[in-house]
């Protein structure tokens, strides 16, 4: 007994040491340049803070309310022996499928290497502009994130805790002024980022553990870039996530799928509905009742929106199979509940794979039953097989939505995926998604909600992804809010008058944008403290005005009739 007891203690100690050695990294940072403050983490998950166990996807950016809770890439495929391989991160209860860092030549990632790469590199466009304005570049006057940017050949590259990184493969993108393939910031080279602020990080699925899904690792390496714009227009309600997925394994995977898993808590988490817009390949979350958090008792929780609620979504701007602007449909849109039913939390790699293929956990295909959950009380409905659930607009009772079906609101998760494709060794696939949201409104909860507004924001995200906005020439960090701007009449037909109270209107810049974030050019006449814009030739619709004077800016909206 004594010997058995000693071995048990030894085994316990070894397990404890091993578990401690494989402790995940809580490193996180946020895109916080515009109206949304959304976190990403080095393990590939995002929108939450694992140290606090709380959402970190604030909208508005400085508010306690959130439009999302947690999200991550999911992927699956079959090797040449028909063995299933899955990577599917969720909340880390059972471990991690993804670890920070790139794979080595043997398609593996050690805990030590992962620790060195447990960093997110954050760069503002204003930092790059200030750097470009320098006539000479030294280690002391180069911004640290530009100097230590994890690009190929950078002699100054640094990771977590200042760890020295030796980078011989293509990693973070950069502007290669001398075209030698090596990143040299002291020669004036700098990160190649879209938007006005960007984050870059790398993670892989064959690291120290693969215990979230308990599936076979795929051997993929993911280079991730999140970015956003700050322009005083609708694009400020958008954050992009651009992933480059590299098959580093020797396997050719068939029936390979890439997708997004999302726990879409909108304010209070237990009163949500979801829907799908196939045109934008967009999963949508809206409130199942008109008063978010109103049924919680004791008043509204701090994280609830009350009666002024946004509608949010994830739109898949790029999926494998797209060619230019020729877009393939999404492969599936599926959801499950926060329970342990047949349509509940996934318990294995097989269930994760089912959820990525429009099937419930026992392998039965979802149905379009219109009135219900597409699955029925026994796990499947009476209608025909379908790939997408809840494809209707809740504003139209004749369409299939959770609102029209009379479902009970709840704590939803959804999965959007690509169609099946083949992933060869060394192949690279791109997937780009955008987090989008409308502004809070009293009309955004069932039964009054509709998807017209969120589709407009998605249109903006798609348009500006394919036609990026030029750099903002005013340093973001130095822009401050201006005094109130008066515009009248509103709605307007031919003439719009613009007054900035408390500031002389002379020497100002006035820019008008449409809802896609595109600049529209109209004649503007400045007279004293008032400007007159001739909008007679503009199409009818909603427009945004950005007023700037020095480092001060303010915005307003108007309607052209």
pLDDT in tens, 517-538: 677 888 888 766 788 899 998 9
Instruction: State residue 528's pLDDT score.
Output: 64
For residue 512, give the H/E element and its range: strand 509-513
User: In angstroms, rounded to a whole number, what is the distance separating the alpha carbons of residues 184 and 169?
Assistant: 15
User: In angstroms, rounded to a whole number, what is the distance separating the alpha carbons of residues 277 and 188?
Assistant: 44
- Which residue do the tokens 């050019």 mark? 521
User: In angstroms, rounded to a whole number, what is the distance separating the alpha carbons of residues 314 and 285?
Assistant: 9
Q: How does DSSP classify residue 280?
A: T
Closest CA to 70 of 41, 31, 94: 41
CB 183 within 8 A of CB 152: yes
Which residues does residue 265 pair with via DSSP β-bridges, in sequence order?
none
- The C-alpha angle with vertex 309 and arms to 452 and 468, in degrees rounded to 5, equals 55
User: In angstroms, rounded to a whole number, what is the distance separating the alpha carbons of residues 334 and 355?
Assistant: 6
Which residues does residue 415 pair with via DSSP β-bridges, in sequence order?
261, 334
Closest CA to 54 of 74, 69, 37: 69
| Alpha carbon separation from 501 to 68, 485, 547, 554 (Å, rounded) | 37, 6, 12, 11
Domains of the chain, start order: 25-63+99-242 (no CATH), 258-465 (no CATH), 479-560 (2.60.40.10)
CB 34 within 8 A of CB 62: no
Q: Tell me the residue length of the chain.
A: 561
Contacts of residue 60, Cβ cutoff 8 Å, sequence gap at least 6? 35
Q: How many CB atoms lie within 10 A of CB 132?
A: 12
Retrieve residue 559's tokens.
Answer: 């309607």
Instruction: State residue 523's pLDDT score.
Output: 87
341 HSE (CA, 13 A, CB side): 12
Instruction: State residue 561's pLDDT score.
Output: 83
Retrieve residue 518's tokens.
Answer: 């595109």
Beta strand pairing call for 480-481 and 552-560: parallel
Region for 498 from its dihedrals, namely left if φ exceeds 0, alpha if ψ lies in -120 to 50, beta otherwise: beta
CB 379 within 8 A of CB 390: no
3-state secondary structure 174-185: EECCCCCCCCCH
Helix runs in 22-118, H state only? 111-116
Closest CA to 287 of 302, 274, 301: 274
Closest CA to 150 of 116, 121, 123: 121
pLDDT in tens, 16-49: 334 445 899 999 999 999 999 999 999 999 999 9
Helix runs in 302-451, H state only? 349-355, 402-405
Instruction: State residue 515's pLDDT score.
Output: 65
Instruction: State residue 88's pLDDT score.
Output: 96
Q: Which parts of the chain sit beneath pLDDT 70?
A: 1-21, 296-299, 369-382, 472-485, 500-508, 515-517, 527-528, 548-554
pTM to 2 decimals? 0.83
User: In angstroms, rounded to a whole number, what is the distance separating the alpha carbons of residues 538 and 253?
Assistant: 51
């Amino acid at each position: 007994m004594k010997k058995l007891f000693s071995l048990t203690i030894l085994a316990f100690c070894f397990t404890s040491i091993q578990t401690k050695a494989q402790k995940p990294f809580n490193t996180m940072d946020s895109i916080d340049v515009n109206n949304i403050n959304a976190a990403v983490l080095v393990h590939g998950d995002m929108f939450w803070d694992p140290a606090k166990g709380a959402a970190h996807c604030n909208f508005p950016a400085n508010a306690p309310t959130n439009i999302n809770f947690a999200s991550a890439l999911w992927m699956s495929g079959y090797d040449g022996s028909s063995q299933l391989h899955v990577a599917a991160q969720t909340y880390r209860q059972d471990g991690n499928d993804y670890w920070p860092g790139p794979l080595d030549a043997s398609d593996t990632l050690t805990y030590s290497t992962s620790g060195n790469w447990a960093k997110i590199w954050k760069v503002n466009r204003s930092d790059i502009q200030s750097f470009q304005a320098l006539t000479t570049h030294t280690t002391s006057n180069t911004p640290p994130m530009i100097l230590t940017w994890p690009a190929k050949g950078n002699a100054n590259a640094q990771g977590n805790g200042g760890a020295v990184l030796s980078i011989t493969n293509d990693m973070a993108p950069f502007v290669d002024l001398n075209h030698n393939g090596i990143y040299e910031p002291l020669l004036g080279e700098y990160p190649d980022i879209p938007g006005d602020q960007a984050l870059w990080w790398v993670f892989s699925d064959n690291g120290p553990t693969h215990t979230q899904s308990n599936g076979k690792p795929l051997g993929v390496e993911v280079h991730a870039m999140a970015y956003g714009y700050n322009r005083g227009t609708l694009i400020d309600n958008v954050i992009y996530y651009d992933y480059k997925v590299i098959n580093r394994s020797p396997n050719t995977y068939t029936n390979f799928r890439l997708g997004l898993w999302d726990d879409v808590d909108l304010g209070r988490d237990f009163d949500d509905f979801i829907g799908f817009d196939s045109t934008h390949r967009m999963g949508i979350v809206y409130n199942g009742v008109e008063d978010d958090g109103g049924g919680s008792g004791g008043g509204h929780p701090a994280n609830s929106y009350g009666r002024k609620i946004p509608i949010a979504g994830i739109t898949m701007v790029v999926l494998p199979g797209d060619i230019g602007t020729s877009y393939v449909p999404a492969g599936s849109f599926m959801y499950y509940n926060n329970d342990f039913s047949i349509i509940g939390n996934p318990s294995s790699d097989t269930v994760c794979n089912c959820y990525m293929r429009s099937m419930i956990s026992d392998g039965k295909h979802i149905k379009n039953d219109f009135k219900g959950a597409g699955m029925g009380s026994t796990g499947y409905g009476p209608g025909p097989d379908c790939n997408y659930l809840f494809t209707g607009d809740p504003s139209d009772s004749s369409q299939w939505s959770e609102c029209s079906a009379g479902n009970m609101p709840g704590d939803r998760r959804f999965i959007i995926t690509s169609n099946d494709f083949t992933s060869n060794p060394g192949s690279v696939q791109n997937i780009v998604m955008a987090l989008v949201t409308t502004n809070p409104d009293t009309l955004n909860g069932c039964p009054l909600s509709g998807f017209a507004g969120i589709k407009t924001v998605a249109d903006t995200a798609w348009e500006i992804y394919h036609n990026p906005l030029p750099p903002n020439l005013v340093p973001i960090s130095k822009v401050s809010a201006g005094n109130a701007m008066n515009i009248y009449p509103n709605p307007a037909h031919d003439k719009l008058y613009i007054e900035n109270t408390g500031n002389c209107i002379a020497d100002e810049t006035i820019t008008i944008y449409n809802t896609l974030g595109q600049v529209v050019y109209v004649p503007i006449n400045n007279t004293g403290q008032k400007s007159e814009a001739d909008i007679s030739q503009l199409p009818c619709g909603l427009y945004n005005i950005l007023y700037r004077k020095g480092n001060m800016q303010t915005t307003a909206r108007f309607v052209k009739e």
